[in-house]
Each structure stands twice: as C-alpha cells, then as structure tokens.
Amino acid sequence: MTVGASVNTSIQRIVGTLEGGVISLIAWYIAGDNPYVLAFFGWLVSAGSFYCVVELNQGAQGRFVLLTYNLIILYTYATSQSAPTGTGVRSAPVLLVSLRRVVAILVGCCWGVLVTRLIWPISARRKIRTGLSLLYLRCSLIWRKAPVPVTFGETNHQEALNPYMDLRDETKLRTYSDSLDAIRISAESEFKLRGPFATDSFKALLESANRALDALHALNVVIEKDNKASPGEAAILRYTTDEREELARRISHLFSGTVSLIQV
C-alpha cells in the first residue's frame, strides 16, 4: 500500500468500526438475545453496508461496519446462550466486547500507518506522477508514427496501426488509467510540507488522457470499417501527406511536453 492508501483505508476502517460498534450496542439493548430481532437488525446493517460500498465507494468502511456488527453481536449472543443459570459462567458484556474491538482496530490501523509512513514508505504522489508521465509518453509514441497511415489499397491500415495501438494495448492502457485514478484518490490523503495535493489538476490530466484514448479508439474503429482508400480519398491522402505528418509530430510533441509539466 502507498502512504495515502494506508491513511485513507485506516480512516475508513476506524469510522466503520465505530459505527458498527454503536449499532451493535443499540441493537443488543433493543433486542437482547432475541435471535429474530437481531436477524432483522443484521439485514438492515448489511443493506446499509452494501449501499456504502457500492454507491458511496467506501469499501473498507462498509465492510467493517458489517464485520464489526457481526463479530460483536454473534459473540455476545453465543456467550449468552452458552452460560446456563447456576454454572457461574457469565455472558460477555456487549459494551466490553465493543470496546475491545474498537481498541484493537484503532491500534492496528495506527501501527499500519506508522509502518507505511516511517518504515516502508511508498508515496502515492510519486506514483501518480510517474504513472501519468508513462501514460502520456505512450500516447506520444502512438502519434510519433501517425495513427492515420497513408494507404492506397495495397497496404492495410490496421497493419500499420497494430504495432502501436492494437486491442491488447488499448485494454492495457485502459486498465492502467483506471489504476492511476485509484492512486490519485490515495494521494489526496498524503500530508506533506509541500502543501495539499493538486488533485483537481491531476484529475483533469487523467480525464484528458482518457479522452485521447477514446479518440484513438474511435479512429481505430473508423479505419477498421474500410481500410482501403478510394481513388478520391487516395488523392486527398497523397496531397495532405506533409500536413498530416506535421500534425502528428505536433500532437506527439504536446504529449511529451505535458510529461515535463507533470514532473514539476
């Protein structure tokens, strides 16, 4: 984990554990050891947890709300059922179980943050800069050899395009772009003396890169539909060869120049 991801996940886990502990106390004091009422509360908690994970994109928080509720309620209920009257065995108090769970998660998260911050730090800020630079350099490489090759029937467009942007490369670039967005979110939670992370700027850069990938995909689709130029199209392609090559070089230069700005 990066430092930012560790901090972000730790906060979500602590908040989720606190919420789950409070809900467990409320449910137990209302339902007691009634299994049917506890099951109803469990259904409500699970619905809320899945909403938190799916809709709010707070995976760790939603999971730990449900996990904390299940652990506290099930353990308290199990001990209450295994403590028959007159044996001298008492059931575990729900407040004590909740407190121990919250303290355990708090200590574990603090230790995890210390490890990722002091012992083995991996900066999300540095990873997003490096990763975004590689993404823009890849786009620059695609345009260095113009994605619109000059073909007049004897050469297939796709044959000239494949070494630079085939379906496998496109899938990898999309997956890589999605991973960079997750790293960007983690970088927001990193605190450094340089000041807050420029999340809006990097978000705009990622969106621009995704739009460029969308345009390349659309270009690829158009070429695949009809990869042989008609006589009129061939004449236009021959006439605009120099202009198209110059345009491709300029676009490639813009992508390369953006990389230097990212590293500033």
67 has a pLDDT exceeding 90 = yes
**Is residue 210 classed exposed, middle or buried when 0-12, 13-18 and 19+ CB atoms within 10 A define those classes?**
middle
pLDDT in tens, 169-190: 778 888 888 888 888 888 887 7
Q: Which two tokens stand for residue 84?
A: 């028959």
Closest CA to 23 of 62, 73, 63: 73
The pLDDT of residue 148 is 56
Give the separation between CA 150 and CA 161, rounded to whole angstroms.
11
Q: Which amino acid, residue 211?
A: R
Give the separation between CA 70 and CA 79, rounded to whole angstroms.
14
pLDDT in tens, 10-32: 898 999 999 999 999 999 989 88
More confident position, 35 or 244: 35
Three-class SS of residue 149?
coil
pTM above 0.85, yes or no: no
The pLDDT of residue 146 is 60
Percentage of the chain lying above the pLDDT 90 cut: 20
Q: Which amino acid, residue 68?
A: T
Percentage of the chain lying above the pLDDT 70 cut: 85
Give the separation between CA 59 and CA 54, rounded to whole angstroms.
8
73 has a pLDDT exceeding 60 = yes
pLDDT in tens, 128-179: 888 899 888 888 888 876 655 544 444 444 444 444 566 777 788 888 888 8
Segments in 146-240 forming alpha helices (H): 157-165, 167-187, 199-225, 231-239
Number of C-beta neighbours around residue 87 at 10 A: 8
